[in-house]
Chains A and B, each alone.
Chain A
Amino acid sequence: MSAQSQHTHTNSCHEVLAHLNDYIDGELAPELCEALEAHLEVCEDCRVVFDTLNKTLYLVHQLRNTSPQLPETVEYRLFAVLNLEQFVPKKPE
């Protein structure tokens, strides 16, 4: 077993995980940022968590550009249920 896989979560690792969100959101105090960054330099486990969390959020943010489309039929039924049929175009005879 490598030294890396034997890594146990120390208090420092727990602190890093607890502060990770604030760090990612840019809301962590500067002195805590420095301590966190110093820890990430030496702790591969925490660095993996940090990297994969960043990748996860990067991918999730891409979903902002791919919103589920409102189907036309759903829109038509919504207008009907709100008694707004006058705005729904008539189907050609």
Chain B
Amino acid sequence: MTGIEIDLDIYPDEASLLEALKRGEPEACACLVKQYAPRVYAIAIRMLNDPDDAEEVLQETFISACKNIHKFEGRSALGTWLHRIATNAALMHLRKRKHREVSLDEPIEMAGGEDIYREVEDGSLAPDDHAMNSEVRDMLEKAIAQLPETLRAVFILREIEGYSTEETANILGISVSATKVRLHRARLRLRELLAPYLA
């Protein structure tokens, strides 16, 4: 693990970490962040495909978690609870984005009547290893980003984060059958998007 060094052994299990969080110990909060922030960030960046928005979601998730930790009843794992907060925050961002979205393909009309085209920054992801060919990884990430938001959320949680169908349904607050339908559509849609490369 890189970055800030935190002794994660102070709290030997989730129950003791939770108790310390409820007592408001800053060390517990630091442990929580160190342990879960990378995965929360990974979900956010895959959902939003934008590092700035993903950072906002990351911060919102942990601010909300620290503020509401007394409401956490331990019916799910702490990580699952955090992922639920992060996924909902990411979906909120996507909805807000829809309202302010301007087509990137549309030229910007200048005062002199001249059109200029937007330069789009490459928001590609920084992998933590090079096991997968970067071209294939980029192609996959771009295809996943093209999935409609509701399908994308199910797909990321189920296929990349490795949650079961029931856990995914629980995180998103939807039924198991709705999760299955969305997963089915997401898989087939992604297959269509990737079909030219898979032949």
Contact = CB atoms under 8 A, between A and B. Distances in A.
A71 B41 CA distance: 10
Contacts of A79: 4, 30, 33
Contact of B137 (A57, A66, A69, A87): A66
Interface string B33-65: 100011101100110000100010011001100
B6 interface: yes
Dominant SS at the B interface?
Answer: helix
A61 B132 CA distance: 11
Contacts of B58: 74, 78
Interface in A33-76: 49, 52-53, 55-57, 59-72, 74-76
B198 A63 contact: no
A77 interface: yes
A56 B26 contact: no
Contacts of B184: 20-21
B191 A52 contact: yes
B55 A77 contact: yes
Nearest to B44: A68
Interface in B104-141: 125-129, 131-132, 136-137, 140-141
Contact of A75 (B4, B39, B126): B4
Contacts of A60: 140, 144, 159-160, 190
B29 interface: yes
A84 B131 contact: no
B126 A71 contact: yes
A84 B30 contact: yes
A87 B160 contact: no
B12 interface: no
Given A66-B128, A66-B132, A78-B59, 20 more contacts: A21-B184, A56-B198, A57-B187, A63-B141, A66-B129, A67-B39, A69-B126, A70-B3, A75-B37, A76-B3, A76-B4, A78-B55, A79-B30, A79-B33, A81-B59, A81-B62, A82-B63, A84-B33, A87-B26, A89-B5
